[in-house]
Amino acid sequence: MRKKIVAGNWKMNKSFDEGIQLVKEIIELYAQEVKSQTYVVIAPPYIHLHKIQPLLFDMPMIALGAQNCSEMSSGAYTGEISTAMLKSVGCDYVIIGHSERRQYFNETNDLLAKKIDIALTNLLQPIYCVGETLDERNSGKLFEIIESQLSEALYHLPSENMRQVVVAYEPVWAIGTGQTASSAQAQEMHGFIRKIIAKKFGDELAENISILYGGSVKPDNAKELFSQPDIDGGLIGGAALQARSFIDIVKGF
Ligand code: PGA
């Protein structure tokens, strides 16, 4: 059975104190209200990670993730954070290839393949993001684009490593815009992603990989999205910045 996961990507938001407060509220609401076996990943800015780790000791269903990592292992790379460092402060996940990293920081599939490798080497589970722009969707090249994002960053992996990867489908036109993909559009792409993973890595692996949807997921659309057969959870931006809305999304399962 594949894991149901709701991950909160805070992006570049929340001061240190605000972040700690938000995690405390999430823990409290999760403990009181969440009845399903849904895993939560909290991905705050780097500086919060170390102080959040001890808050999660009694919460086996809530894990810590980073929003990015270096593709290098260590050394003279001013300003970078390595996957070994992330592991050492308690991260279990790292988001790789978010569309904002692709768009504003020119991250390519080749670079992302390296980040995937080093994350796996340090026992972090990558949450690997794929998604098309509106122009790409309208051009009819939608499926080609998604397939190349997957193949160029993941197809070199041996199966035992691929099993550790979580995929997030996030149409770029739906991120932060309030315009979510319809549940039918999202399901169509999730089904396609699972199908091509099955073609490359086999049915059993594809059946067990979690594929999350991201892009303007809110409490009022989460339930419908999560009820689709190939949608195993969400990657949440704006609505993850408040405990109430985040937990209401988690309760969509
Ligand atoms: P959003 O962001 O929920 O604010 O659209 C999603 C994401 O970027 O992961």
- Contact 56 CB / ligand 1 (< 6 Å): no
Name the β-bridge partners of 214: 235
Which pLDDT belongs to residue 19?
A: 98
Q: What 8-state DSSP symbol labels residue 55?
A: G
Spatial distance between the Cα atoms of 149 and 231, rounded to a whole number of angstroms: 19
Q: What value does the CA radius of gyration of the chain take, rounded to a whole number of Å?
A: 17
Name the β-bridge partners of 40: 6, 62
- Contact 85 CB / ligand 1 (< 6 Å): no
- Contact 175 CB / ligand 1 (< 6 Å): yes
Give the three-class secondary structure for 1.
coil
**CA nearest neighbour of 215 among 4, 1, 9, 2:** 9
Query: Which band of pLDDT confidence, cut at 50, 70 and 90, is reported for residue 29?
Result: very high
**CA nearest neighbour of 66 among 85, 52, 46, 80:** 46
Yes or no: say if 205 and 186 are a contact pair by the CB < 8 Å rule.
no
* 93-142: pLDDT as tens digits: 999 999 999 999 999 999 999 999 999 999 999 999 999 999 999 999 99
Average pLDDT, stretch 3-17? 98
Average pLDDT, stretch 196-201? 98
Which pLDDT belongs to residue 180?
A: 86
Whether the pTM exceeds 0.95: the reply is yes
Which pLDDT belongs to residue 1?
A: 82
Average pLDDT, stretch 23-41? 97
> What mean pLDDT, rounded, does the chain reach?
97
CA of 193 to the centre of ligand 1 (A): 20
Which pLDDT belongs to residue 144?
A: 96
What residue's CA is closest to ligand 1, atom 7?
237
- The domain total for the chain is 1
Spatial distance between the Cα atoms of 111 and 104, rounded to a whole number of angstroms: 14
Spatial distance between the Cα atoms of 249 and 198, rounded to a whole number of angstroms: 29
Maximal C-alpha separation, the chain:
49
* 43-90: pLDDT as tens digits: 999 999 999 999 999 999 999 999 999 999 999 999 999 999 999 999
* 131-189: pLDDT as tens digits: 999 999 999 999 999 999 999 999 999 999 999 999 999 999 999 888 888 999 999 99
Residue ranges making up the domain that contains 31: 4-250
Spatial distance between the Cα atoms of 226 and 55, rounded to a whole number of angstroms: 28
* CATH number, domain with residue 68: 3.20.20.70
| Structure tokens given for 208 | 């067990």
List the catalytic residues.
Answer: 98, 170
